[in-house]
Amino acid sequence: MEPTESLTPVVPIFTIGYGNMTLANFVDKLRQHEIHFLVDVRSQPYSRYQTDYNKAQLAEHLTQHGIRYVFLGDALGGRPPDPDCYTQDGKVAYERCREKPFYQDGMKRLETAFTKQVRLALMCGCAKPEMCHRSKLIGVSLGRLHIPVMHILGDGALMSQETVMRLLEPTPDLFGDSPQLGTSRKSYRIEEDQEPPYS
């Protein structure tokens, strides 16, 4: 009898957005999908309206549930600090971001985690993955590395990166080369005293 190959499924990289979700519900979704590491990819890791998701409070709460918090918003955030990453009208130009060493360093960390089959979820504030840089920036980059991405929705269901791309484009380019996927939807040049966007 010939030996059979292992049928262990590949662990994708997950993403999740908290939106208006309570922290208890949010943690339930992470535990449902056996997430061990939560990687915060918000450029500014706080929310004026959802203070439970401020960096310190969130990290402490996750620790109580056996989940480790990691901040990578400085490398993979949707509002990068480098002004060269923005168009003249203030939108984030995703291809410019991908060329930056800080972004590439962040991607290498995700690639290493995937190679080790770590169960992690990238977190941002936007509940819908098709509206967030988790899919349009990071998800596309992971796709180019042939790393599967699954987005955790508000009801706990999963949506693949490919499905998200189909929502964005009737005839999707999974490698993110279409003009619609090239920049953020909104201009992020806002006044300093305004609530930062979920990115």
| 7-45: pLDDT as tens digits | 789 999 999 999 999 999 999 999 999 999 999 999 999
Residue 197 belongs to some domain of the structure = no
Note the pLDDT tens digit of each residue in 46-97.
Answer: 988 899 999 999 999 999 999 999 999 999 999 999 999 999 888 999 999 9
Residue 116 belongs to some domain of the structure = yes
Residues whose CB is less than 8 angstroms from the CB of residue 26 and which lie 6 or more positions away in sequence, other chains included: 16, 18
Note the pLDDT tens digit of each residue in 82-138.
Answer: 999 999 888 999 999 999 999 999 999 999 999 999 999 999 999 999 999 999 999
Residue 199 belongs to some domain of the structure = no
Note the pLDDT tens digit of each residue in 173-184.
Answer: 545 454 455 654
Owner of token pair 């991908």: 98
Q: Regarding beta strands 120-124 and 13-17, do their DSSP bridges make them parallel or antiparallel, or are they unpaired?
A: parallel
Residue 6 belongs to some domain of the structure = no
| Number of structural domains in the chain | 1
> Could you tell me which residue, 148 or 1, shows the higher pLDDT?
148
Residue 3 belongs to some domain of the structure = no
Q: Where in the sequence is the domain holding 156, given as residue range(s)? A: 13-181
pTM score, whole prediction: 0.84
Q: CA end-to-end span of the chain, whole Å?
A: 54
Q: Is a pLDDT exceeding 70 seen at residue 156?
A: yes
Strand order in the sheet with 149-152: 68-71, 37-40, 120-124, 13-17, 149-152, 158-160
Residue 159 belongs to some domain of the structure = yes
Residue 186 belongs to some domain of the structure = no
Inter-residue contact 102 to 74 (CB < 8 Å): yes
Residues in the chain, overall count:
199
Q: Residue 88 maps to which CATH number? A: 3.90.190
Residue 49 belongs to some domain of the structure = yes
